[in-house]
Amino acid sequence: MLEKMTAINSHAPVANDDCPSREIALARWASNASPSAVQTMLKVASSPEVISFALGLPASELFPAADYCQAVKQVLLNDRHSLQYGPPPERLKAQVAELMKARGVSCDSAEVFLTAGAQQGMSLLAHLTLNPGASVLVDELTYPGFRQAIEPFEPQVLTVSTDLSTGIRTDEVEHLLKQGVRPAFIYVIPNGHNPLAVTMDLAARHHLADLARKFSVPIIEDDAYGFLYYDTDQLPCLKELAPEWVCYLGSFSKIMAPALRIGWVLAPPKLAAKLAIVKEAADINTGTLAQRALAVYLDRGVFSEHLTNLRGEYQKRRDAMFNAVMRHFPAGTRCAKPISGMFLWVRLSCPIDTGELLRVSLKTARVAFLPGDAFCGRKSGNQGCMRLNFSNCTIQQIEDGVDRLASVLRQALLMNLQGNYSG
């Protein structure tokens, strides 16, 4: 047994018997972690009386449930290994590579790494790139799940602002890089930005890709909404513009169904080689029944039509919501009609506390949304802002909900003028 004792050295944490612990100790970051606004709203907004514009949910009634059911049946009854451990299905990787071609990105199926959704891709990349003391660079307002993914590594979060017409301020990114700052990566959502609803313009894409190359700084391109573009043709992916510096995150959650938990990463070779290792640590990295069934579904050749229908329907809902906001919301409200994604970003004419507004709206009008502050993790200059989702309500619900929300808002503005509302 003495031999084992050599395993202990002076660095091993030792007891502090003056203060015996009465419960399991949490890691530092975990002690401070609290549930996200999204998780809280998932419960609140699931009540059938609530019209919810709160979450990034796709339309349940548009899921190809019957076709997918056929695919599951075919897999389960014909392949005795469909429920077994095994490598992720090659066929699905090849199909994803084909999908990427449609997005303008040329890649081989061997470069496709399957994940349990874009969030997992983000989390795995954070594991692979964040050393203690690292920094990351991100829009000031961004997807809260990104902050969650990096939180266990406690990086320094550097922020730049977002232009609501062109996307992330690449001039600010350049300024930081020229100062010598070297983040572990820059995280961006070029299409259907969450929550700002902006799509990066072509010039900004080229500028950012050039910066990545020039300063050797990696980019995580979160393209969860990339297949949901409206009015115009799609713009090139950053992955296409700077393949060696971009890790691309794709997802079937918004275009097929979230409960399948299937997404993918395209990463440069050195990183790609490590993805299987870190995913094995996270959840074994085995092919799932959902992946095998999705491959069979995609082979039926109906997905492209499904995508076209989805875009058409979401475009109608976007128009309905945009028009309703323009019609019902108080004068001075600013909102751009997004050309991709699932959200509107609404800026009210005065800095009313939209967190408080949400509480009142849920209580009196039964309408849910997410306040601007939910996207930066603190009270910021985003009072008076809200994110509205348009994909998960019918046009009738959108029109009713926006009307009801506008009434609450007018009431709130009146009270605000009277000094009863915290601004």
Stretch in the footprint of a copy of itself (CB under 8 A) among 13-21, 355-363, 366-374, 411-419: 13-21
Compute the half-sphere exposure of residue 350: CA atoms within 13 Å on the CB side of its CA.
16
Give the total of residues touching a copy of itself (CB under 8 A): 123
Helix (H) or strand (E) holding 249: strand 246-251
Shortest reach from residue 277's CB to a copy of itself, in Å: 5
CA angle 276, 277, 279 (to 5 degrees): 65
Euclidean distance between CA atoms 393 and 391, whole angstroms: 6
Q: Interface residues for a copy of itself in 251-280 (CB under 8 A)? A: 253, 257-261, 267-268, 270-271, 274, 276-278, 280
Shortest reach from residue 94's CB to a copy of itself, in Å: 18
Stretch in the footprint of a copy of itself (CB under 8 A) among 30-38, 101-109, 226-234, 363-371: 30-38
Is 1 one of the binding residues for a copy of itself (CB under 8 A)? yes
Shortest reach from residue 240's CB to a copy of itself, in Å: 17
Q: Interface residues for a copy of itself in 198-237 (CB under 8 A)? A: 215-216, 218
Stretch in the footprint of a copy of itself (CB under 8 A) among 90-98, 144-152, 333-341, 397-405: 144-152
Q: Where are the beta strands (DSSP E) in 275-383?
A: 334-335, 343-347, 367-368, 370-371
Euclidean distance between CA atoms 131 and 286, whole angstroms: 27
**Phi, psi for residue 222 in degrees, rounded to 5:** -85, 105
| Beta-ladder partners of 159 | 138
> Which residue among 97, 184, 189, 320 contacts a copy of itself (CB under 8 A)?
184
Helix (H) or strand (E) holding 220: strand 219-222
Spatial CB neighbours of 338, under 8 Å, sequence gap ≥ 6: 192, 197, 198, 199, 230, 318, 344, 345
Q: Interface residues for a copy of itself in 368-387 (CB under 8 A)? A: none
Task: Decide if 112 contacts 96 (C-beta within 8 A).
Answer: yes
Euclidean distance between CA atoms 2 and 9, whole angstroms: 13
Is 159 one of the binding residues for a copy of itself (CB under 8 A)? yes
> Which residue among 288, 361, 391, 416 contacts a copy of itself (CB under 8 A)?
288
Q: Interface residues for a copy of itself in 85-104 (CB under 8 A)? A: 85-87
Is 300 one of the binding residues for a copy of itself (CB under 8 A)? no
User: What letter would DSSP give residue 88?
Assistant: P
Is 194 one of the binding residues for a copy of itself (CB under 8 A)? no
Is 389 one of the binding residues for a copy of itself (CB under 8 A)? no
Is 28 one of the binding residues for a copy of itself (CB under 8 A)? yes
> Which residue among 93, 127, 207, 387 contacts a copy of itself (CB under 8 A)?
127
Closer residue to a copy of itself, CB minimum distance, 325 or 388: 388
Identify whether 20 is preceded by a cis peptide bond (ω within 30 of 0): no
Euclidean distance between CA atoms 237 and 209, whole angstroms: 10
> Which residue among 33, 202, 203, 414 contacts a copy of itself (CB under 8 A)?
33
Closer residue to a copy of itself, CB minimum distance, 69 or 203: 69
Shortest reach from residue 284's CB to a copy of itself, in Å: 5
User: What letter would DSSP give residue 284?
Assistant: -
Euclidean distance between CA atoms 301 and 138, whole angstroms: 38
Euclidean distance between CA atoms 152 and 268, whole angstroms: 24
Closer residue to a copy of itself, CB minimum distance, 257 or 398: 257
Q: Interface residues for a copy of itself in 331-370 (CB under 8 A)? A: none
Shortest reach from residue 360's CB to a copy of itself, in Å: 25
Is 61 one of the binding residues for a copy of itself (CB under 8 A)? yes
Is 179 one of the binding residues for a copy of itself (CB under 8 A)? yes
Euclidean distance between CA atoms 312 and 348, whole angstroms: 29
Q: How far is CA 137 from CA 104, 172, 183, 184, 218, in A?
A: 26, 11, 6, 8, 10
| Window 107-126: contact mask with a copy of itself (x via CB under 8 A) | ---------xx-xx--x---
Strand pairing category for 185-188 and 135-139: parallel
> Which residue among 47, 106, 286, 304 contacts a copy of itself (CB under 8 A)?
286
Amino acid residing at 390: F
Is 190 one of the binding residues for a copy of itself (CB under 8 A)? no
Quick count: other Cβ atoms within 10 Å of Cβ 159?
A: 15
Shortest reach from residue 383's CB to a copy of itself, in Å: 17
Closer residue to a copy of itself, CB minimum distance, 213 or 404: 213
